[in-house]
A and B are shown apart, each in its own frame.
Chain A
Amino acid sequence: MRRAACSIQAGSSETGSDMSESVRFRFNVDGSNFTTAGQASVQVKKNLRELGIPADAIRRVSIAMYEGEINMVIHAHGGEAEVIVFEDRIEIILSDRGPGIPNIELAMKEGYSTAPDNIRSLGFGAGMGLPNMKRYTDDMKIETELGKGTTITMTVRF
C-alpha cells in the first residue's frame, strides 16, 4: 500500500519575531484518489504523538487537517499540506490550485455543500467540513482566488 509522501524538517521558524525551534512536516495530497485521502492526517497524528504533544491538541489538529485534506481531494484536485510544530502551538497550512471558493461566508455555513451525490454516498459532503475545522482550531484563515486556488491556515494552541 502506498504511503503519503512526507518530508520532515527541523529548524528555526520563519516568522521573524518567533525564534523558537520548530518541526515541520510536508505532504503531497493526491487529488485523484479518494481512498488514500486522509493519509497525511493519519501520519501527522502519529508524528505528533511521538513528539509528546497533548492528546487534546493532537485530536483537534488531526480532525481539522483531515477535513481540510478531504476537501482538497473532493473539491480541488489535491494539493500540499504543511504542519509546523511550535513550542505552544501547531500551524496547519493546506494549499491547493483548485477552483477557489466563490463565497466564503456561504461555504462556512453548516450544511452548505457543492459536493456531488457520489461523494455523499462515500460519507462526506454533509457541509460540515469547514465549520468543523473552524470549531476545532483557535484560528482559521482562508485565502482564496477563483480559478487559482485556496490556502487555509489553521492554528491550534496548547
Chain B
Amino acid sequence: MKISDIKTLLDAEVVCGEENLDHDVYSACGSDMMSDVLAYVKDQAVLLTGLVNSQVIRTAEMMDMVCIVFVRSKKPTEDMIELARESGIVLMNTEKRMYEACGLLYTSGLVGNGVRHE
C-alpha cells in the first residue's frame, strides 16, 4: 500500500512529508518502547506509537522507517517535525487508538514482518 492509503484508512491528518505520500510500504510495527522497535529489522517502514518525543523520530531514522503515525490524536512538537523533515519522514496523527489503528492496517495488508536480527 502507499502512505496515502494509511492516511485514508486511519482518517489521519498529515503533519509533514506530504510530498512522500506516494511511497510504497509493506510492513509496520506498533510500540511505545523504542528498544523493542530497534530489536526488529525487517524493513518495517511504518511506526505506530503513542509516544511523543524526539527519540521516536530518531528511532525511525535509525531503522530507515519512512512514516510515523501518532495514535490517540497525539501531536508532535516543532522540534520533532524539524527532525522528521530533515530525514524525509512522513508524520501523521489519527484519533484512533493503537489497537484499532494497527488492526485496520493489518487487515488491509500491511503485515508485521517482525524478523529479529540474530
Taking Cβ atoms with an 8 Å cutoff, the residues of A that contact B are 1, 34-38, 41-42, 45, 55, 59-60, 62-63, 66-67, 70, 120, 122-124, 126-129, 131-132, 135-136
Contact = CB atoms under 8 A, between A and B. Distances in A.
Interface stretch (B2-10, B16-24, B36-44, B104-112): B36-44
A68 to B, nearest CB: 12
Nearest to A66: B62
Interface stretch (B50-58, B67-75, B91-99): B50-58
B100 interface: no
A62 B87 CA distance: 14
B35 A67 contact: yes
A45 B61 CA distance: 9
Most buried by A among B33, B35, B118: B35
A70 B58 CA distance: 11
B117 A35 contact: no
30 contacts: A1-B79, A35-B54, A38-B55, A38-B58, A41-B62, A42-B61, A42-B62, A42-B87, A45-B62, A55-B64, A59-B41, A59-B62, A59-B64, A60-B117, A63-B41, A66-B38, A66-B59, A70-B55, A120-B33, A123-B32, A123-B35, A123-B53, A124-B35, A126-B35, A128-B33, A128-B39, A132-B39, A135-B39, A135-B117, A135-B118
Contacts of B82: 1
B55 A126 contact: no
Nearest to A122: B53
Nearest to A55: B64
Nearest to B61: A42
A122 B63 contact: no
A60 B32 CA distance: 21
A155 B32 CA distance: 29
Contact of B54 (A38, A120, A136): A38
